[in-house]
Amino acid sequence: MQYERASASERRYLPPAVAVSVVAFALRPPVDAERGGDAERGGDADTSDTPTIWIPLVRRTRAPFLGDWALPGGPTEWDETLADTALRTLRAAARREPGHLEQLYSFGGVERSAEAQRLVTIAYWALYGEHQLDAEPETSATPAPATAQQQRPRRWDDPLPPAPALAAPQHAIDERGLAQPAGENVAWFSVDRLPALAFDHAEIIDHALSRLRAKTEYAAVAYRFLGPEFTLSRLRAVTEAVLGESVDPANFRRQALARGGLVDTGKLESGGAHRPAKLYRFTEPS
Amino acid sequence: MQYERASASERRYLPPAVAVSVVAFALRPPVDAERGGDAERGGDADTSDTPTIWIPLVRRTRAPFLGDWALPGGPTEWDETLADTALRTLRAAARREPGHLEQLYSFGGVERSAEAQRLVTIAYWALYGEHQLDAEPETSATPAPATAQQQRPRRWDDPLPPAPALAAPQHAIDERGLAQPAGENVAWFSVDRLPALAFDHAEIIDHALSRLRAKTEYAAVAYRFLGPEFTLSRLRAVTEAVLGESVDPANFRRQALARGGLVDTGKLESGGAHRPAKLYRFTEPS
DNA sequence: GCAAAAGTGTTACCGGTACACCCATGG
DNA sequence: CCATGGGTGTACCGGTAACACTTTTGC
């Protein structure tokens, strides 16, 4: 706060600033021509329509790294836990409540920031479920705009409303934590087509991605990308998108059910030109 | 530093202090009557002489938690990385260089400390190998004291020199980072017979223990408790001590060798009333 | 020779993978 | 009745656990 005036020689008398950065994953169907347009389609797993992983980034409006994109985040307030800070700054940037939040790692290198004050960053990663993305952005008290392209309840594989640039004044918080008008300064990016990133945020995103992949292999995490009820195919599609490889449907079914936590709701999802699929819920086994 | 004078009302104008705490594991043979003496012998795995896990703690000499024991640690200096701080404070407390250091988790709850200033702690965990424990304590420039009980080269299952209380002035650094005479204020404790702990350090130790156990199951970590050369039995004994369960020698041998990284030195370790065992080294596969 | 630990071999089992096969629905 | 995805059955394969067995030392 008042440390902006600090010269490099004063640096040793200042305690390090504590900030939080959040890598918030969400899933979108593969809409090419979203930003950066076309280019090679990943090259990842299969040619099918697996969704891709997206994260929100905030454009920096001041030096250093002016114009580059950075993770949502900011310094902790005196009465916040670290998780509180992560949630607050993520809400401010994406204007949505994440479905899961978990600490990732702390970065405390001496020369992380080009600024005078030393910066220690605790990184978090978060997940957005489809229901959180569907929900109207918070903050904007204006009721449902009901624009043409968003009439019926959004289905999982509908395109996501493009990182809403709304009329109502929103705010984002940049790395130094100074609130400022954002609006156009927040955008979602596919993790395999990221822009120039500020600080060591590329490294943090890599770290978060490998953690996400590791956890989907041994823990039940993928379901958090989905709404409260889902079919096993949807869950498998999410898993394939995260792991970047295709998974045998039959074996996935058995393993997912054997791992526990999945509850048959009794309901079915019809609509496709095929046998209707059972809908499942997830209950924490703890 | 100058934040000692901060009243609770000033708190919101202060940035949080950033400190590091270190859980440093070492192995000792099961010497009962070391501190707290006797009591029930664990009840863990088997009745054999598996070693036990010990950690160094520092007695607090000021409020809060005066008289309780705390993890080695202290605030980061302006020109230190977080790992630097962990190493420095651990050296100051245990006066030995650890063989492994890894970040554990960051604790940033609002009310962690009872003091005025908010405290964010980044926890690390470290491992001491037997060769690091054998080495003469650093800092003390006095050459080998060569007291009666320490003449021949120490073997792995010899009792460890009891948390040396030396003549030379040592220093430990308490949670607030103020250097002060320590000597008797550092002691090693068995993790299943810990004293009253300051702050949330009991929780941090639990966290570190489960991480240690998890890592020994899927990664090659146990060998770091040993010296540069070791037999597979010793490695197995370490693994059993960490996991708290006995392991089949035959299968352990095959799996350890299959995992890679172990190199046959060609040497043998004779001395027991049985067939001599091959000595192995470890090479990082990276 | 005997005890004790090093080291090898053998077998049963279990979880994961691959893939063939039926089921139910829309068109 | 055909295409499509939902859902089930099953054979195979590799890693692990269990344990019998041989080897080499000290006493």
Q: Which of B168, B196, B216 is the last residue of a domain?
A: B216
Residues B164, B224 within the same domain: no
**Structural domains of chain A, count:** 2
Q: Which nucleotide is nearest to A273 (CA to C1')?
A: C26
Residue A218 in contact with partner chain B when CB distance is under 8 A: no
Q: Tell the burial category of A198 from Cβ atoms under 10 Å away from its Cβ (0-12, 13-18, 19+).
A: buried
Residue A118 in contact with partner chain B when CB distance is under 8 A: yes
Collect all residues of chain A within an 8 Å Cβ-Cβ radius of residue B11: 78
Q: Are B206 and B244 in contact (CB under 8 A)?
A: no
Structural domain boundaries, residue B245: 220-282
Task: Please list, in sequence order, all residues whose beta carbon lies within 8 angstroms of the beta carbon of residue A225, skipping any fewer than 6 positions away.
Answer: A25, A26, A27, A127, A128, A129, A130, A238
**What percent of chain B is predicted at pLDDT more than 70?**
67
Residue B105 in contact with partner chain A when CB distance is under 8 A: yes
Report residue B157 as tokens.
């299952």
- Report CB contact under 8 Å: B18, A108: yes
Residues A36, A142 within the same domain: yes
Strand D: positions under 7 A of a protein C-beta atom: 3-10, 16-20, 23-27
Provide the CATH number for the domain around residue B81.
3.90.79.10
pLDDT of residue B172: 32
Residues A117, A237 within the same domain: no
Residue B80 in contact with partner chain A when CB distance is under 8 A: yes
pLDDT of residue A170: 32
Strand C: positions under 7 A of a protein C-beta atom: 3-10, 16-20, 23-27
pLDDT of residue B98: 95
By DSSP bridging, strand B52-59 and strand B69-70 are antiparallel
Point out the residues of chain A with pLDDT beneath 50: 1-9, 11, 32-48, 140-182
Q: Which nucleotide is nearest to B232 (CA to C1')?
A: C6
Residue A80 in contact with partner chain B when CB distance is under 8 A: yes
Collect all residues of chain A within an 8 Å Cβ-Cβ radius of residue B106: 82, 103, 106, 122
pLDDT of residue B159: 38
Query: At which residue do the structure tokens 């639990």 appear?
Result: B206
Point out the residues of chain B with pLDDT beneath 70: 1-14, 30-48, 110-117, 135-184, 285-286
* Torsions phi, psi for A274 (to 5 deg): -165, 175
Q: Which of B216, B245, B273 is the last residue of a domain?
A: B216
Gap from B222 CA to C11 C1', in Å? 30
pLDDT of residue A4: 43
Residues B191, B265 within the same domain: no
Predicted model pTM: 0.79
Q: Which of B216, B231, B266 is the last residue of a domain?
A: B216
Residues B235, B208 within the same domain: no
- Report CB contact under 8 Å: A120, B12: no
Count CB neighbours of B141 within 10 A. 7
Residues A87, A147 within the same domain: yes
Collect all residues of chain A within an 8 Å Cβ-Cβ radius of residue B122: 106, 108, 120
Q: Which has the closest alpha carbon to A73: A56, A92, A89, A96?
A: A89
- Report CB contact under 8 Å: B78, A17: no
Residue nearest to nucleotide D15 (CA to C1'): B255
